[in-house]
Amino acid sequence: MHMIPKITANLCALREQMAAAALQAGRDPADVTLVAVTKTHPPEVVAAAVAAGMRDLGENRVQEALGKIAALAHLAPPPAWHLIGHLQRNKAKLAAEHFALVHSIDSLRLAAALARYVPSGRRLPILLQCNVSGETSKEGFTLAGGARNQAALDALLPQLEAILALPSLEVRGLMTIAPFTDDPEAARPHFRALRELRDTLAQRFPQATWRELSMGMSDDFAVAIAEGATIVRVGRAIFGSRGE
Ligand X SMILES: *Cc1c(COP(=O)(O)O)cnc(C)c1O
* Binding-site ranges for ligand X (CB under 6 A): 37, 39, 60, 84-85, 177, 217-218, 233-237
H helices of 39-130, in order, are: 43-51, 62-71, 92-98, 108-116
- Amino acid at the residue 120: S
For residues 15 and 148, which CB has a smaller minimum distance to ligand X in the complex? 15
User: Which residues make Cβ contacts (< 8 Å) with residue 154, sequence separation at least 6?
Assistant: none
Beta strands (DSSP E) in the chain are 33-37, 56-59, 80-83, 101-105, 124-131, 141-142, 169-175, 212-214, 231-234
- Of 127, 205, 131, nearest to 170 by C-alpha is 127
| Shortest Å, Cβ 61 to ligand X | 9
Who contacts 96 (Cβ-Cβ below 8 Å, separation ≥6)? 114, 117, 118, 119, 124
Minimum CB distance to ligand X smaller for 84 or for 194: 84
Q: Is the Cβ of residue 213 or residue 234 nearer to ligand X in the bound state?
A: 234
Cβ distance to ligand X smaller for residue 210 or 221: 221
Q: How many whole angstroms separate alpha carbon 129 and alpha carbon 193?
A: 13
Which CB, 43 or 200, lies closer to ligand X? Answer: 43
Least Å distance, CB 143 to ligand X, is 18
Considering the complex, what minimum distance in angstroms separates the CB of residue 82 from ligand X?
Answer: 9
**Measured from the CB atom, is 153 or 187 closer to ligand X?**
187
Cβ count near 147 (within 10 Å)? 20
The sign of the torsion formed by the CA atoms of 106, 107, 112, 113 equals: negative
